[in-house]
Amino acid sequence: MSLKNVLVLSLFLGSLATAAGAQEKSRLGALGEKVLAIMTAPDKKLDSAYVLQSPLKWVVGTEGKTIRLGADLTSDITIHNFVGDNAEIITGTMKTGLQNQPYWKWGLAAGYGSVRLGYGVQLGKKKGDRNSYLSFGVGGSSYGARIRYYKVHQCPVGTLVLDGQPPVNLASDYKGEMRNLALDAFYAFNRRRFVYNAVYSGRSLQRRSAGSWLVSAKYLQGDFSLNDKDPIWERLKDLRRYTTQQVSLGGGYSFNWVLLHRAPRDPKTAGGRRNLTLNATAMPMFSLYNHIQTEQNMPEGLLKVRYKGQPAFSPTLRGGLCYTGGRVNVILRAEYERFSFQGVDTEVSEEKDHLRTKVRTAGVFYGMEVEATVNVRF
């Protein structure tokens, strides 16, 4: 092939690559535009006499919150100690708890349209002891979903009482690490006159008081690891980790009380608008999938035991107050979540020690939050 033909072929292939790249960028650009259009599109089904949709798409904010996470568990234990043909039966109770002291976190958040991302850390702590959280949320006028991740350092407490033996104190001064991942979503049936996120994000304004029935779903995954320097390991036979999983379904009712509303002077900039709205929400839910797993160091390796729970009542209560003045939102929010655990008998055999242990565990996991947020929209 002559040099001239090589140059012509190279130019031809280069033009094809350039055209393909431009076409791919065009496709990605078109896809991005569609995604942004979906994120910011106004809801045409909303009744404008009840809800005012904001023309401002971007939001940045600062938020401070105090969080308390905890668990209280009671395990009824029956131990069969086989000696020859005879079995000695030992019964007892172990109570364990995890509860952090309320602490204040400060964070930043940003969002566009219906999407919001936030991150915060505990103030005044050394880096290794800081508690932190990460949140991501998406919501429209009639639906919403959020993901929350918390990392908390706290000390375990508890007692172990077996028949004929003195109580064993399980309290510790060594902080373990608790990690919580929570996902929840809801749908509001009154999508014409009620906007749940009018109080909790301030993107839309509730012009007249209204309420709605809700349907909701929630997933919780918790993980607590003992400090590997903690002498409590010896008292718990090297128990090193608890994990829990719950899936809950339910519904409830939410209501927005409009205490003050003044329409904006300029609908395009939201200048001059004033609004004060109070929300109260109750969502009774039932945990349909409910499990606890423990991990224990044994001479032959890591022993994992899974405790299955029965369906249990798990309510969520939430309240909030939102003041909007022009481009600024000031939001106060309080929330309480409770997950109940009612376990069934779980048998753990230790053939080497001729022991057979049966455990039934029950208890609650709970979380409380109080949050203050200041948003600026543009």
Q: Do residues 330 and 202 make contact, with C-beta atoms less than 8 angstroms apart?
A: no
Q: What's the confidence (pLDDT) of residue 239?
A: 64
Q: What's the confidence (pLDDT) of residue 125?
A: 59
Q: How far apart are CA 300 and CA 41, in angstroms?
A: 59
Q: What's the confidence (pLDDT) of residue 293?
A: 80
Q: Do residues 96 and 156 make contact, with C-beta atoms less than 8 angstroms apart?
A: yes
pLDDT band at 167 (very low <50, low <70, confident <90, very high): confident
Regarding predicted confidence, which is higher, 345 or 260? 260
Identify the bridge partners of residue 148 per DSSP, sorted by sequence position.
Answer: 135, 182
pLDDT band at 235 (very low <50, low <70, confident <90, very high): low
- Tell me, yes or no, whether 103 and 4 share the same domain: no
Q: Per residue, what are the HEC states of 81-111?
A: EEECCEEEEEEEEEEEEEECCCEEEEEEEEE
pLDDT band at 299 (very low <50, low <70, confident <90, very high): low
Q: What's the confidence (pLDDT) of residue 364?
A: 83
- Tell me, yes or no, whether 71 and 164 share the same domain: yes
Q: Do residues 195 and 51 make contact, with C-beta atoms less than 8 angstroms apart?
A: yes
pLDDT tens for residues 108-149? 888 888 788 888 887 655 555 567 888 888 888 888 999 998
pLDDT band at 252 (very low <50, low <70, confident <90, very high): very high
278 pLDDT more than 90: yes
- Tell me, yes or no, whether 16 and 60 share the same domain: no
- Tell me, yes or no, whether 180 and 226 share the same domain: yes
Q: How far apart are CA 113 and CA 141, in angstroms?
A: 11
Residue 252 belongs to what domain range? 45-377
- Which residues, at least 6 apart from 218, have a Cβ–Cβ distance to it below 8 Å? 182, 183, 184, 185, 246, 247, 248, 249, 285, 314, 316
- Which residues, at least 6 apart from 7, have a Cβ–Cβ distance to it below 8 Å? none
Question: b/e per residue, 273-308, with b = 16+ CB within 10 A?
Answer: bebbbbbebebebebbebbbebbbeeeeeebeeebe
280 pLDDT more than 60: yes
pLDDT tens for residues 172-189? 777 778 888 999 999 999
- Tell me, yes or no, whether 55 and 21 share the same domain: no
- Tell me, yes or no, whether 34 and 54 share the same domain: no
- Tell me, yes or no, whether 5 and 74 share the same domain: no
Burial of 6 (C-beta count, 10 Å sphere; 0-12/13-18/19+): exposed
Which ranges in the chain belong to alpha helices (H)? 3-40, 197-200, 232-235
DSSP label at 127?
A: G
9 pLDDT more than 50: no
Number of structural domains, the chain?
A: 2
pTM: 0.79
What average pLDDT does the structure give for the chain? 78
Determine the average pLDDT of the residues in 220-229: 79
pLDDT tens for residues 307-352? 788 888 889 999 999 999 888 999 999 999 988 887 777 766 555 5
Regarding predicted confidence, which is higher, 349 or 219? 219
Q: What's the confidence (pLDDT) of residue 141?
A: 81
- Tell me, yes or no, whether 88 and 105 share the same domain: yes
- Tell me, yes or no, whether 27 and 90 share the same domain: no
pLDDT band at 214 (very low <50, low <70, confident <90, very high): very high
The token pair that represents 115 in the structure block:
């999407």
Q: Do residues 341 and 290 make contact, with C-beta atoms less than 8 angstroms apart?
A: yes
pLDDT band at 52 (very low <50, low <70, confident <90, very high): confident
- Tell me, yes or no, whether 26 and 63 share the same domain: no
What percent of the chain lies above the pLDDT cut of 70? 73
- Tell me, yes or no, whether 94 and 18 share the same domain: no
- Tell me, yes or no, whether 32 and 170 share the same domain: no
Determine the average pLDDT of the residues in 241-267: 87
Q: How far apart are CA 298 and CA 291, in angstroms?
A: 22
